[in-house]
Structure 1
Amino acid sequence: MIEQGMSRRSVLKGAVVAAAAAGVSVVAAAGPAHARGPRGAADTVVMNGKVLVMDRRRRRAEAVAIKDGKILAIGSNREITRLTAGGTQVVDAGGGTVLPGINDSHFHFGNSGLAIPPYTYSLAGTESIVAIQDVLRRAVADARAAGKPVETTFVRASGWNESRLNQVGQKLTRAHLDAVSDGYKIIAPEFSYHALIVNSAVLDLPEVKERIATASPELVPYIERDANGELTGVFREGAMSLVSVAPPWTPAEVAGSLDAAIAAVHSLGITSVTDPGVDAAMVAIYADRYRAGKLPLRVNLMLGGGRNPKALRAALDGFSPLRGIDPRWIRVGQVKLFADGVPTAARTAYLHEPYEGTNTRGSLTLDGATIEEQIRNLHTMIRTAIQAGFQVGTHATGDAAIDTVVQGYLAAMGRNSRRAALRNYVIHADLTPEATLRTMAAHGIGANFNATIKYLLGTDLYPVLGKERTDYQWPYRTALDLGVKVASASDAPVTPASWLQGVAGAVTRKSQFGDAVAGAAERISVEESLVTYTRTPAWQDHADGWKGTLQEGFVGDLCVVDGDVLGTAPEALPGLAVSTTIVGGEVVYDRTTSAARDAEPAVALVQGFSSERGKACLEDGMCCCRVSERALT
């Protein structure tokens, strides 16, 4: 029975286990199952697999037994067969790879279900303004066909890639949106979510005009204007708030969209997520779903700390610790802070040396009239959160911002061993200097990298950062060799949530747009990359004593991949499919069921169209126009 009291589902009826051939040599995770005495039959077993325990000894096995939501034993097929009985549910891995459940350690999950139609239309993968306009034209047509009034309707889209457009010599402006808006108001965040573009219908709103006219001095540089001083429609960082006038999602919309999001991540083998920057209302939504038995996913929640000490204090004062909820399902023990922006075409990351061809180094994005005041605010916020007992994860991408964050961590931790054990970490950590990585390793400060973003950008940032910095960006090899705890995350819905794509990205350092390698020196192995999606995220979650590896007593969270992950060419990994996902001993996803087939359009979105099924879905317009008919009904 799943730990939160959900009813047991038997979705693999009639599965048959082929007996293991004699003489197969397999190392059991905790010794031969039969050697530890009878303990009753397993509830669920996974047989005939290439089981990767993912512990430090790199052990292997063939089968896993689960009882009462926890791993009972790991061993050979023959050993695990002895733990079965008539009521045991059997999953045949068919020679595929069996892993601990994937832990996406930085995933804006509460918003991810809202990132697909009919809520939001995806611009991911568009390589030209024409392609962006095609998607927006369909979105507008859907809104009109649904009878949505022009006066009150916002058409939302997200995922356009400014760096990619720059590479092909194109600049997206509000005029391009106006051409296809048919009077509707359009708002479209860039894929990084550190910039957005709106059309003239939004800029003409009296509220928006007033906000722009009275914008504070620190926001003015982030309001983009053309050579004639006219608004282009692009707003960056804090200035995005000036045009964020679309009605907020209702709690009912957020809660309802979670069903599609949970189904989608289960299809990818994801069993745990860290949702960064949530507020008290989002915590309550998760808690309500848990109490209703509708949260078959482990969530680690980071409270949003805002951009000044007052905002952080308000967030901490407004949070009441959850009661009556197993922290293995919902944990609220972290605070997310922001230091800077992103080192893309937006040039809002804070660097030690200027961006290519400019005199600008970017800046911190916290409140403060000077850089010194911003640093004081950041360090005060870090100290406040740590003194309150919260683990801190801080968004920092530029090398100067990362150094500032690490200095703040060290100052706040001091010699207090309890504070040092909080496992604070740097989110994204794109350009962490080698000397800073050494400091992080010495003081137990982790890094949360994004190999999928590396795949999306590749060498596109050469004109922005130069070749040396672009190739170094996300220095996996250097960080691991120096002993830094490195977790990998999708940052979805900023990028697709396909961890297999992330593994491929960390191993090959190639982009979606070609075979050019961006930083061969920072490549890591497939197995090292898998650790960053399993064991290390569990460390980040303070959960390495009960999840992240497959060993006795740990939770029964498993992911079964069709194919040999370690034996497949890295470039081909994104084409592998997850066949089964198990959470707390319950099969929550089985690719052979009709429910899984019905959700394929939504699944293709989070996979990033890495499979032929996903590509066909995109080509026939399903993902942009019809996904809601199948995935959200």
Structure 2
Amino acid sequence: MYHRFDRRQFLHGGAALAAAGLLPARAAHADAARGGADLVIHNARVLVLDKRFRIAQAVSVKNGVVQALGRDREVLRLAGRRTEVIDAGGGTVLPGINDSHLHLGGFGLDFPPFTYEVDTATVEELVEVVRGAAQAATTPDSWIRGQGWNDNRLPRPPRRADLDPVSGNHPVVLTDFSGHAMAVNSVVLRLAGITRDTVPPVGGVIEKDADGEPTGVLRETAQGLVSRLIPPFTDEEISRGIDTAIGILHSLGITSVTEPGIGLDRLAMYEKKAREGALGVRLTALLSAGVEPRLLGETLAAYRPLQDVDPRRLRVAGVKIFADGIPTAAKTAWLHEPYLDGSNGSLVIAGATVREQVANLHELIAIAHAKGFQVGTHATGDATIDAVVAGYVKAMGRRGGDPRHYVIHGDLTPEATLRTMARRGIGVNMNATIKYLLGRTLDPVLGAARTDYQWPYRTALDLGVNVTSASDAPVTFPTWLQGVQSAVLREGRFGGVAGEAERITVREALATYTRTAAWQDHADRWKGTLEVGKAADICVVGGDVLGVDPHELIDLPIDATVLGGEVVYRREASAAPAAYTGAASRWHARGTACLEGGNCCCRVAHS
């Protein structure tokens, strides 16, 4: 499965290198532009990540694009006195990582004092975090935000009865690791007017105790009863958080992200940063569609195309629709066959009946498609995914082209639906890092067979579907090496293998974070591979990504990151943010997928 070179083979070439697809020395001269290179990276395993999976020893960069590839000796001849030269030390060089579903705007805010981590093993430990936050608060009634509690780890969700004794007059809102549920104290319930008689919105759940009183746990759309009350972060805080997030992404080798479900105010902030040269990643944005056609119509009417912004740095690709919940202990994803306890989730689209909800879902898709927008739809349950794909096919029948609509998450996509997606050019954006987080914990919820199948990478790739991988950060920490490891091994954080039949190779997993992610961005002609003439977005890994035992992938360091030919991160020269250092140590220590809290698409889309 893995092709590994020893040092002698790699440096001295010969038949072994030719057989492995190493680019010949003449490629360096035949494709090089005249004049010296701006940057040369050598002594490396350069993975071009094209479909032939070619490998070189060195790569040169000029004017922000890949200038040449080949053997060390030939490419180094392009270096002049002003050329920056990086010796990769035998490590791996590959295209800059493209995290194709990441909430940049929220990621940097998920650190104290903005947000506290509550991913604990016990409710008692969680309560102590809240106690500490209340004691550290500078005003007696300020809001305390937390993120990360996990239904699959805790014996039960935290409740107002747990939080009230330690929170005083502070409103407390603790969102779970996925963003699909929150736990609040009694102060928040009073502020929101939530009582035993409150009717939850469509798709929402207000959990109650044996006496019929709200416990403080709100799921899916019921969170909206509270989220509208939470004081928003200031523009300055959000901007500072974005800058922090970008610095962390650089340290992980990530050069491109897709942010799904943003509002026009957040877009304006990105536009300003892009104009000022302060947006340090390539950002593809999806506008939030809302839950009914009227809301999407209002958003599109107010939207104005970006002006004086490099579309290769910031681009609005389309809209993000939020269709259902998640197939975890929350049991809010809409399934064809119910969960093991007989319950089922539902669509969260507006509508009094399932038929009305599906009709509104299809209308949302049709409106966006008719405007020429790409559509990404959060859909995890198989019933929801089938409804979404049917809507895509219907809309594409009206207007062809190559919209590259895709399913976000696609946890339980049926095989027949995957065939339709492959035939119609519909992609799927999967989450191997969340698979690692969940592992076999869903056996009591979905049953063993569906738990094994969840995120069917192997089936989808074999059927010809364009599959991308993403962290959904801050739901999981955005380390793509963990994602590759999980896609290859299917091993869970709490032990066991969940879906050996859905394992893929390291090479296939790498493509989901680079080449295919560029396809999703409609950018595969200019980024996603290290072919000559394409963007010089580069990630340098300190180790043999192809040859190392997959269990050790997570331990490989990122040595350097290059964006558009500019070195934006060097491990030996960079001091990682303190918040990142702590999060990274937690990731390695216990494999946690939560970074100081976080929020996924639903919370961001509804905020």
State the shift of 1:135 in Å. Answer: 2.5
State the shift of 1:217 in Å. Answer: 5.7
Matched-pair contact (CA < 8 Å) for 2:287–2:318: yes
Q: Label 1:29 to 1:496 Cα distance change in 2 as closer, same or farther (>3 A).
A: farther
Out of 577, 583, 586, the position equivalent to 1:599 is 577
Matched-pair contact (CA < 8 Å) for 1:475–1:522: yes
Out of 577, 582, 587, the position equivalent to 2:557 is 577
Q: How does 1:351-370 map to 2 (within 5 A)?
A: 351-358=335-342, 360-370=343-353
State the shift of 1:527 in Å. Answer: 1.0
Q: Label 1:150 to 1:76 Cα distance change in 2 as closer, same or farther (>3 A).
A: same
Structure 1 counterpart of 2:212: 229
Structure 2 counterpart of 1:78: 73
Letter in 2 for 1:39: R
Which whole-Å CA distance do the structure 2 matches of 1:258 and 1:212 have between them? Answer: 39
Out of 42, 50, 53, the position equivalent to 2:45 is 50
Matched-pair contact (CA < 8 Å) for 1:459–1:511: yes
Out of 159, 162, 169, the position equivalent to 2:148 is 159
Which whole-Å CA distance do the structure 1 matches of 2:243 and 2:555 have between them? Answer: 25
Out of 132, 136, 140, the position equivalent to 1:138 is 132
Which whole-Å CA distance do the structure 2 matches of 1:273 and 1:603 have between them? Answer: 21
Structure 1 counterpart of 2:246: 262
Which whole-Å CA distance do the structure 2 matches of 1:496 and 1:287 have between them? Answer: 26
Which whole-Å CA distance do the structure 2 matches of 1:276 and 1:56 have between them? Answer: 28
Asked if 1:433 is matched to 2:428, the reply is: no
Which whole-Å CA distance do the structure 2 matches of 1:352 and 1:37 have between them? Answer: 55
Count of residue pairs brought into register by the alignment: 581
Letter in 1 for 2:307: R
Structure 2 counterpart of 1:497: 478
Aligned-residue sequence identity (percent) comes to 52
Out of 286, 300, 304, the position equivalent to 1:316 is 300
Structure 2 counterpart of 1:184: 170
Matched-pair contact (CA < 8 Å) for 1:267–1:603: no
Secondary structure (helix, strand or coil) at the match of 1:273 reads strand
Structure 1 counterpart of 2:3: none
Structure 2 counterpart of 1:535: 515
Which whole-Å CA distance do the structure 1 matches of 2:554 and 2:133 have between them? Answer: 29
Greater displacement, 493-502 / 535-544: 493-502
Q: Label 1:38 to 1:285 Cα distance change in 2 as closer, same or farther (>3 A).
A: closer
Matched-pair contact (CA < 8 Å) for 1:93–1:560: yes
Structure 1 counterpart of 2:5: none
State the shift of 1:608 in Å. Answer: 7.3
Q: Label 1:484 to 1:23 Cα distance change in 2 as closer, same or farther (>3 A).
A: closer
Matched-pair contact (CA < 8 Å) for 1:450–1:490: yes
Matched-pair contact (CA < 8 Å) for 2:366–2:395: yes
Which whole-Å CA distance do the structure 2 matches of 1:242 and 1:536 have between them? Answer: 38
Structure 1 counterpart of 2:285: 301
Secondary structure (helix, strand or coil) at the match of 1:141 reads helix
Asked if 1:371 is matched to 2:354, the reply is: yes
Structure 1 counterpart of 2:82: 87
Out of 388, 399, 424, the position equivalent to 1:405 is 388
Which whole-Å CA distance do the structure 2 matches of 1:236 and 1:608 have between them? Answer: 31
Out of 556, 567, 576, the position equivalent to 2:547 is 567
Q: Label 1:217 to 1:107 Cα distance change in 2 as closer, same or farther (>3 A).
A: closer
Letter in 2 for 1:462: D
Matched-pair contact (CA < 8 Å) for 1:264–1:603: no
Which whole-Å CA distance do the structure 2 matches of 1:181 and 1:534 have between them? Answer: 45
State the shift of 1:128 in Å. Answer: 1.7
Letter in 2 for 1:447: V
Out of 111, 114, 118, the position equivalent to 2:109 is 114
Structure 2 counterpart of 1:67: 62
State the shift of 1:30 in Å. Answer: 9.6
Matched-pair contact (CA < 8 Å) for 2:172–2:188: yes
Which whole-Å CA distance do the structure 2 matches of 1:192 and 1:623 have between them? Answer: 13
Matched-pair contact (CA < 8 Å) for 1:602–1:623: no
State the shift of 1:171 in Å. Answer: 3.7
State the shift of 1:571 in Å. Answer: 1.4
Greater displacement, 504-513 / 425-434: 504-513
Matched-pair contact (CA < 8 Å) for 1:30–1:552: no
Matched-pair contact (CA < 8 Å) for 2:65–2:533: yes
Deviation string 1:419-444 (CA, Å, 9 cap, x unpaired) is xx100000000000000000000000
Secondary structure (helix, strand or coil) at the match of 1:103 reads strand
Secondary structure (helix, strand or coil) at the match of 1:222 reads strand
State the shift of 1:601 in Å. Answer: 3.4
TM-score, normalising length from structure 2? 0.92
Matched-pair contact (CA < 8 Å) for 1:508–1:523: yes
State the shift of 1:290 in Å. Answer: 1.1
Out of 605, 610, 613, the position equivalent to 2:587 is 610
Q: Label 1:47 to 1:604 Cα distance change in 2 as closer, same or farther (>3 A).
A: farther
Letter in 1 for 2:511: V
Out of 472, 478, 498, the position equivalent to 2:453 is 472
Which whole-Å CA distance do the structure 2 matches of 1:600 and 1:483 have between them? Answer: 42
Matched-pair contact (CA < 8 Å) for 2:201–2:222: no
Deviation string 1:364-394 (CA, Å, 9 cap, x unpaired) is 1111110000000000000000001100000
Letter in 2 for 1:293: G
Letter in 1 for 2:76: T
State the shift of 1:210 in Å. Answer: 6.4
Letter in 2 for 1:158: Q
State the shift of 1:259 in Å. Answer: 1.3
Structure 1 counterpart of 2:266: 282
Out of 429, 433, 458, the position equivalent to 1:448 is 429
Structure 1 counterpart of 2:140: 150
Deviation string 1:190-230 (CA, Å, 9 cap, x unpaired) is 1111111111121122xx116986646636x5111112111
Asked if 1:127 is matched to 2:107, the reply is: no
Secondary structure (helix, strand or coil) at the match of 1:611 reads helix
Secondary structure (helix, strand or coil) at the match of 1:510 reads coil
State the shift of 1:172 in Å. Answer: 2.1
Secondary structure (helix, strand or coil) at the match of 2:152 reads helix
Q: Label 1:93 to 1:141 Cα distance change in 2 as closer, same or farther (>3 A).
A: farther
State the shift of 1:416 in Å. Answer: 3.2
Matched-pair contact (CA < 8 Å) for 1:29–1:73: no
RMSD: 2.1
Q: Label 1:53 to 1:290 Cα distance change in 2 as closer, same or farther (>3 A).
A: same
State the shift of 1:598 in Å. Answer: 4.6
Letter in 2 for 1:383: A
TM-score, normalising length from structure 1? 0.88
Out of 231, 234, 241, the position equivalent to 2:224 is 241
Letter in 2 for 1:310: R
Structure 2 counterpart of 1:15: none
State the shift of 1:481 in Å. Answer: 0.4
Q: Label 1:415 to 1:386 Cα distance change in 2 as closer, same or farther (>3 A).
A: closer
Q: Label 1:36 to 1:374 Cα distance change in 2 as closer, same or farther (>3 A).
A: closer
Matched-pair contact (CA < 8 Å) for 1:498–1:608: no
Matched-pair contact (CA < 8 Å) for 2:100–2:258: yes
Out of 164, 175, 182, the position equivalent to 1:196 is 182
Matched-pair contact (CA < 8 Å) for 1:29–1:551: no
Structure 2 counterpart of 1:11: none
Deviation string 1:246-284 (CA, Å, 9 cap, x unpaired) is 101121111111111011011100000000001111111
Deviation string 1:51-102 (CA, Å, 9 cap, x unpaired) is 1110100100111111111110111111111110010011111111111000
Structure 2 counterpart of 1:40: 35
State the shift of 1:333 in Å. Answer: 1.5
State the shift of 1:38 in Å. Answer: 5.8
Secondary structure (helix, strand or coil) at the match of 2:346 reads coil
